[in-house]
Chains A and B, each alone.
Chain A
Amino acid sequence: MPDNNIPVTDVTASPGPASPTRRNFIKNTGITTASLVGTAALVTGSDEAKATASWAEHFQGNYRLMTDEEKQEAIDRLEKRYSLEYDKKVTVDGTEAQEGVLFGYALNIQKCIGCRRCAKACVEENNQSRGPDQEIEWIRVLKMEKGEFTRDKLNDGYPGDYGIQVGGNAYSAAGVVLEGEHYYEPEKVPESDSHYMPIACMQCEKPPCVKVCPVRTTYREPDGPVVVDYNWCIGCRMCIGACPYWARRFNWGEPNLPKEEMNPNTHYLGNRPRMKGVVEKCTFCIQRTRHGRYPACVEVCPVGARKFGNLLDPESEIRKVLDRKRVFRLKAEANTYPKFFYYAD
């Protein structure tokens, strides 16, 4: 960092409204040669309005630390850019969490038929990249075999003649994939010998992904969902490695989101279009749920296996599930405290 006369301690000072943001830092210290070159390319590369937007976007702060005015500025900027890019009126919502709301999700694993409509509805709603070069889906439905936990398999999978266990688990022979099938394609679902387990972000109360993020661009919102400020994400993918649930996806390339398929109702922390090199994940459809609407996957599930509501409201569907049904959380032993519950009747 050349010609930088700001003491190091100032740069790493604890965050707060008065602390230097990246933008202020650069404003105050003079722009480094590297960023000058980069932004010069930005300005000359496209028309002026877009370039101004990109310039400002490039230097905006961490969303969580912005003042309300800065947030509004960022949102206005994005609305303008997206509306131009997608040829339609795109809104970027900044609605904050409501007091007294903590979102929770429950999925009836007994009812799921494995039709994958949830995964596709999620893409319709959340503006993920479409294939074939880069297909991103936040929900993955796993097909599981029935009846693995049987008496005759109790002794399978233990280290045998080779001395080490090479795969599988304690109840089934090594080499068998017990994690479920991702790519099943039967004529009809459900198949009689299978059950299905959709997975997505569990919106942990103690999210490992948040712990590892070196730039604190992913964090837990007060109403529950773990969100990402895509503009602040540096694409290091530490969170992907930390997540025990395989809930996060990375934009390895430029996302492919056709204009006519783009959902113009977006939230800054939710389904607004992403860029190359950032991580994305389920937000419980923050752009819908913050306005009181069910998430898209809940609405599309043909068998009503998906239930959603406010965990702090004793009359909510989710609370009734927790009160009455047999409930488990995936990998509870990881102490992540998911707010996504699986249940059976």
Chain B
Amino acid sequence: MNRLLAILVLMLLTPLALGETCFESRKGSSEVTKTDTDPDLPNVKCSDETGAVLWWGDPYEGTVPMGDSDVLTPLGEAVVKPRIPKLSLHPICGTACHNGSFPPKNDDKNPRALTMHQDIVPDSMNLQHGRGAIWCLDCHHSDQRNMLTDNFSNPVSFNEPQKLCGKCHGPVYRDWRDGLHGKRIGELASDGKKRWWVCTECHNPHDVQQGTRDSGFAELDPERAPLLPKGLENADHEHHSGH
């Protein structure tokens, strides 16, 4: 019942998307709507083929400052797109469902079938993330369910998942901090203004390895192949599987 209510509330809150909408990095993770204020120089161009962003006019649209932390002081201005507006249950999850005393906390980390959230965690009996070593409250704050948690049980905003993920993924976090891991757009100078992509914009923490694929990034539809050279009817000559 609560979930139904949540969905209803959200449908009312979410402004109707006008114009062409395309996804940024991981499908379903974040979208951007093409505006036609200047048809010659739009904010984005989208792929007719896959619905992906193909070209960025305005790299900073919809972003907010990333904010500082003790371990992360970017050389230049760092902005991010807030994650919270993308999380449908976020506005109510800390009050309507998990109010701090109910449902009772369960610190047992043995995998168990969930009675809720099966849509988010499709196979809870086989949670790939951590391979059985972690469970819900290792990442989600135990009292404030609209927050994540760091190593000291301090709440961490869903907008800053890096503060949580960096707990375990140290080397990747270091690379991300220095711009070697993950995606950034904007100014190329090391002290320039950049939009950073945060962890969960590319990785789905509940389905990290895409089942059996053992890759951190979700599968995508590819853009279409280049046209064959004139006179060539197919590309059979280059297939060498089954050799």
Q: Which residues of A contact B (CB under 8 A)?
A: 88-89, 111, 113-117, 119-121, 124-125, 131-132, 135, 137, 140, 145, 173, 176-190, 192-193, 260, 262, 264-265, 289, 292-294, 296, 298-304, 307-310, 313, 315-317, 320-321, 324-325, 345
Q: Which residues of B contact A (CB under 8 A)?
A: 24-26, 39-41, 45, 47, 50, 52-56, 59, 75, 175, 178-192, 197, 202, 213, 215, 217, 219-228, 235, 237-241, 243
Select from chain B the residue with minimum beta-carbon distance to A184.
B225
**In the bound complex, CA of A192 to CA of B53 (Å):** 24
16 contacting pairs across A/B (C-beta < 8 A)? A114-B222, A115-B52, A120-B223, A135-B226, A176-B243, A181-B240, A264-B41, A294-B184, A298-B185, A299-B55, A299-B185, A302-B24, A302-B25, A303-B25, A303-B202, A317-B180
Known pairs A181-B238, A292-B192, A304-B202. 8 more at Cβ < 8 A? A125-B55, A173-B243, A177-B240, A293-B187, A298-B185, A298-B188, A302-B217, A321-B180
* Residue in B55, B220, B241 whose CB lies within 8 Å of A113: B220
Output the least CB separation between A283 and chain B (Å).
15
B225→A183 contact, CB < 8 A = yes
B235→A190 contact, CB < 8 A = no
When distances are taken between beta carbons in the complex, the residues of chain B under 8 Å from A179 are 238
Output the least CB separation between A316 and chain B (Å).
5
When distances are taken between beta carbons in the complex, the residues of chain A under 8 Å from B45 are 124
B179→A320 contact, CB < 8 A = yes
B226→A303 contact, CB < 8 A = no
B226→A183 contact, CB < 8 A = yes
B237→A189 contact, CB < 8 A = no
When distances are taken between beta carbons in the complex, the residues of chain A under 8 Å from B186 are 293-294
When distances are taken between beta carbons in the complex, the residues of chain B under 8 Å from A189 are 219-222
Output the least CB separation between B197 and chain A (Å).
7
A182→B243 contact, CB < 8 A = no
